[in-house]
Amino acid sequence: MTDHTDTVTHDGQTGAPLWLLAELTYRCPLQCSYCSNPLDFAAVEEELDTAEWIDALTQARAMGAVQLGFSGGEPLVRRDLETLVAEARRLGFYSNLITSGLGLDESRIEALREAGLDHIQISLQASDPEVAAAVAGSRKAHGKKLAMARAVKAAGYPMVLNVVLHRHNIDRIDQIIALCDELGADAVELANCQLYGWAHLNRAGLLPSAAQLEAAEATTARWRERLAERGRDMRLLFVVPDYYADRPKACMGGWGSIFMTVAPDGAVLPCHSARMLPMRFPTVRERPLHEIWYQSEAFNRYRGDAWMSEPCRSCDERHRDVGGCRCQAYLLTGDPAATDPVCDLSPDHHLVEAARREAEDDTRSARELTPRNVHESRVFCRT
Ligand code: SF4
Ligand code: FES
For residues 306 and 15, the answer to whether their CB atoms sit within 8 Å is no
> Is residue 284 packed enough to be buried (19+ CB in 10 Å), middle (13-18) or exposed (0-12)?
buried
Mean pLDDT for the stretch of residues 36-57: 92
Q: Give the residue numbers spanning the domain of 56.
A: 17-382
Q: What is the pLDDT of residue 5?
A: 37
For residues 136 and 15, which has the higher predicted lDDT (pLDDT)? Answer: 15
What is the value of pTM for the model shown?
0.92
For residue 1, pLDDT over 60 is answered with no
* Domains contained in the chain, number: 1
Q: What is the mean pLDDT of the chain?
A: 91
Mean pLDDT for the stretch of residues 51-63: 98
For residue 154, pLDDT over 50 is answered with yes
Question: For the domain that residue 105 is a member of, what is the CATH number?
Answer: 3.20.20.70
* Per-residue model confidence as pLDDT tens digits over 231-246: 999 999 999 999 999 9
C-alpha closest to that of 136 among 107, 166, 112: 166
Q: Is residue 12 part of a domain?
A: no
Q: What is the pLDDT of residue 207?
A: 95
**Residue from 35, 195, 242, 252 whose mutation best tests the ligand 2 pocket (most atoms within 8 A of CB):** 252
Q: How would you label 267-281 residue by residue, b for 16+ Cβ within 10 Å and e otherwise?
A: bbbbbbbbbbbeeeb
Give 116's pLDDT tier (boundaries 50, 70, 90). very high
Tell me how far the alpha carbon of residue 95 lies from the centroid of ligand 2, in angstroms: 22
Tell me how far the alpha carbon of residue 253 lies from the centroid of ligand 1, in angstroms: 14
Q: Is the CB of 273 under 6 A from ligand 2?
A: yes
Q: What is the pLDDT of residue 176?
A: 96
Ligand 1 contacts (CB < 6 A) are: 247-248, 311-312, 315, 317-318, 321, 323-324, 339-340, 343, 345
Q: Is residue 7 part of a domain?
A: no
Q: Is residue 94 part of a domain?
A: yes
* Per-residue model confidence as pLDDT tens digits over 253-270: 999 999 999 999 999 999
Mean pLDDT for the stretch of residues 142-152: 91
Q: What is the pLDDT of residue 12?
A: 53
DSSP letters, 218-286, are: HHHHHHHHHHHHHT---EEEEE--GGG-SS---GGGSTTTSEEEE-TT-BEESSTTGGGSSS---BTTT
Q: What is the pLDDT of residue 367?
A: 67
Mean pLDDT for the stretch of residues 71-75: 94
Tell me how far the alpha carbon of residue 244 lies from the centroid of ligand 1, in angstroms: 15
* Whether complex ipTM tops 0.95: no
* Per-residue model confidence as pLDDT tens digits over 322-358: 989 999 999 999 999 999 999 999 999 999 999 999 9
Q: Is residue 238 part of a domain?
A: yes
For residue 381, pLDDT over 90 is answered with no
* Per-residue model confidence as pLDDT tens digits over 298-310: 999 999 999 999 9
Q: Is residue 310 part of a domain?
A: yes
Q: Is 343 known to sit in a ligand binding site? A: no
Q: Is the previous residue joined to 12 through a cis bond, with omega within 30 degrees of 0?
A: no
Q: Is 35 known to sit in a ligand binding site? A: yes
Q: Is 271 known to sit in a ligand binding site? A: no
